[in-house]
């Protein structure tokens, strides 16, 4: 091989290498561009899915009012219930605030769901109002339902007493958490500043405990003003609805007693007073806005507890379940629907309305409950069927 050839050869090789480098560089550019396109496509898909889910949770599910049916058989053999049972229509947590388009749509769906139904007893377990401005729509809702044969009964919810500032919820919840920790004398919530400074992990532990506090029980807005509960009661009573505030009533010609309890957060609950005058052997239905009444000693006298307040968690996520249940005594799986403690059966309503106007996996509903006498030698679950879409 000559020097020239060698040179030429080297030059050729150099040219080839240069071309190769150019080819590789072009290929790398194309790969980079493909990766960028794929990244944008991925981001677009995630954003599209997020927008679709957000749209569903904001614009569809809150308006998808279901009709659920449930038959509950007493677990104690008590006289007083008609053999064919009693038909109860259970409503809860309407949270009306005067958002007419939204609330009129819900009223129209409730009217359709209840049309032609034979209702013995209408029950509303509170949070009629989110704000006083919702009163006209609450009255329109009650007017839209067929008249119940034995009467309409209610208890008030925390929102009927008070409206809350949700923007201050994180700070308010933090103060509740600290107060709770101090009361219990447990956890680093009660630690002094000096102790906290000594322990570098205390801040992190506080945050974790606070996260658990929020997840397990409360994320509360700060009370910001009073709703006119007196006016709400007067207007509903004028339509024949009775408020059971720590008192009971016997249902018509039956031997069934309804007992109502004031709200656990904003009222003055007194269950022993509510149960005064209720015979021990009478079938007893307890109405409480807040299902945490289940832990009261006297609650075991109730055959059935009807409650609301939890909104079914309002956002139910895969693997996590209901996210925001507001109950301290019930597990997440008990935050809506049927459960029982001993021979006391519990039904927690998910509500018709929302405080924050969003729902996912916890659609609003009305529930038709057929309350039946115990089977002789009854054992096992008192619930006969549940969850029919109507």
Closest residue by Cα to residue 262 from 379, 165, 125: 125
Rank residues 93 and 263 by Cβ distance to Fe ion and give the closer one.
93
Rank residues 206 and 334 by Cβ distance to Fe ion and give the closer one.
334
Q: Establish how many alpha carbons lie within 13 A of residue 240's alpha carbon, considering only the half-sphere containing its beta carbon.
A: 12
Where helices occur in 223-323 by DSSP H, the ranges are: 229-238, 271-275
**Nearest to Fe ion by Cβ — which residue?**
127
Query: What is the x/- site pattern for Fe ion, positions 76-115, by CB under 5 A?
Result: -----------------x----------------------
Cβ partners under 8 Å of residue 39, min gap 6: none
Say if CB 362 and CB 52 are below 8 A apart. no
Q: How far is CA 97 from CA 92, 311, 343, in A?
A: 15, 17, 38
| Separation between Cα atoms, residue 236 and residue 238, nearest integer Å | 5
**CB 50 to Fe ion: min, Å:** 27
Rank residues 126 and 274 by Cβ distance to Fe ion and give the closer one.
126
Q: Which stretch binds Fe ion (CB under 5 A): 48-56, 78-86, 119-127, 262-270?
A: 119-127
Rank residues 127 and 266 by Cβ distance to Fe ion and give the closer one.
127
**CB 124 to Fe ion: min, Å:** 12
**CB 326 to Fe ion: min, Å:** 8
Rank residues 78 and 95 by Cβ distance to Fe ion and give the closer one.
95
Rank residues 248 and 355 by Cβ distance to Fe ion and give the closer one.
355
Quick one: which of 61, 127, 132, 292 contacts Fe ion (CB under 5 A)? 127
Rank residues 61 and 127 by Cβ distance to Fe ion and give the closer one.
127
**CB 59 to Fe ion: min, Å:** 21
- The dihedrals phi and psi of 185, each to the nearest 5 degrees, come to 60, 20
Collapse the DSSP code of 47 into the 3-class scheme (helix H, G, I; strand E, B; otherwise coil) and give the result: helix
| Separation between Cα atoms, residue 387 and residue 302, nearest integer Å | 23
DSSP 290-314: SGGGGGSGGGGG-SEEEE-SSGGGS
**CB 355 to Fe ion: min, Å:** 6
**CB 128 to Fe ion: min, Å:** 10
Query: The sheet that has 344-348: what strands, in order across it?
Result: 247-250, 257-261, 284-288, 304-307, 344-348, 337-341
Say if CB 292 and CB 264 are below 8 A apart. yes
Within 10 A of 377 (CB to CB), how many other CB atoms are there? 6
Site membership for Fe ion, residue 245 (CB under 5 A): no
How many residues bind Fe ion, per CB under 5 A?
A: 2
Rank residues 103 and 206 by Cβ distance to Fe ion and give the closer one.
103
Is the four-CA dihedral 113, 116, 119, 124 of positive or negative sign? positive
**CB 130 to Fe ion: min, Å:** 8
Q: How far is CA 90 from CA 153, 176, 305, 369, in A?
A: 10, 32, 11, 7
Rank residues 366 and 371 by Cβ distance to Fe ion and give the closer one.
366
Q: Which residues pair with 129 in a beta bridge?
A: 96
**CB 220 to Fe ion: min, Å:** 12
**CB 349 to Fe ion: min, Å:** 10
Binding site for Fe ion (CB under 5 A): 93, 127
């Amino acid at each position: 091989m000559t020097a020239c050839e060698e040179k030429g050869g080297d030059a050729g090789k150099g040219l080839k290498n240069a071309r190769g480098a150019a080819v590789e560089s072009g290929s790398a550019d194309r790969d980079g561009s493909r990766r960028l396109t794929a990244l944008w496509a991925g981001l677009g898909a995630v954003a599209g899915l997020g927008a679709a889910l957000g749209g569903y949770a904001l614009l569809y599910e809150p308006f998808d009012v279901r009709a659920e049916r449930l038959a509950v058989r007493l677990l104690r053999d008590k006289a007083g219930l008609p053999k064919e049972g009693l038909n109860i229509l259970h409503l809860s947590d309407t949270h009306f605030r005067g958002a007419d388009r939204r609330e009129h749509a819900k009223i129209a769906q409730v009217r359709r769901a209840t049309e032609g139904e034979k209702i013995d007893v209408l029950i509303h377990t509170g949070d009629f109002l989110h704000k006083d401005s919702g009163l006209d729509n609450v009255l329109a809702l009650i007017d839209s339902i067929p008249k119940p044969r034995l009467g309409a009964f209610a208890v008030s919810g925390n929102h009927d007493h008070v409206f809350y500032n949700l923007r201050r919820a994180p700070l308010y919840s933090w103060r509740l958490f600290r107060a709770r920790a101090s009361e219990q004398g447990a956890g680093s919530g009660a630690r002094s500043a000096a102790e906290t400074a000594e322990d570098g992990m205390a801040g992190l532990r506080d945050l974790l405990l606070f996260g658990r506090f929020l997840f397990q029980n409360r994320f509360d807005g700060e009370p910001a003003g009073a709703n006119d509960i007196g006016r709400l009661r007067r207007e509903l009573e004028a339509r024949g609805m009775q408020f059971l505030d720590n008192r009971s009533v016997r249902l018509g010609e039956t031997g069934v007693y309804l007992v109502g309890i004031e709200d656990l957060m904003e009222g003055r609950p007194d269950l022993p007073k509510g149960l005064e005058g209720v015979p021990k052997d009478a079938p007893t239905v307890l109405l409480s806005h807040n299902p945490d009444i289940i832990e009261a000693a006297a609650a075991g006298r109730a055959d059935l507890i009807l409650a609301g307040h939890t909104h079914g968690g309002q956002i139910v996520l895969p693997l996590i379940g209901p996210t925001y249940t507001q109950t301290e005594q019930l597990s997440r799986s008990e935050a809506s629907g049927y459960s029982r403690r001993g021979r006391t059966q519990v039904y927690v309503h998910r509500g018709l309305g929302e405080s924050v106007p969003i729902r996912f996996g916890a659609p609003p509903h009305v529930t038709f409950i057929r309350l039946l006498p115990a089977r002789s030698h009854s054992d096992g679950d008192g619930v006969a069927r549940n969850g029919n879409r109507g």
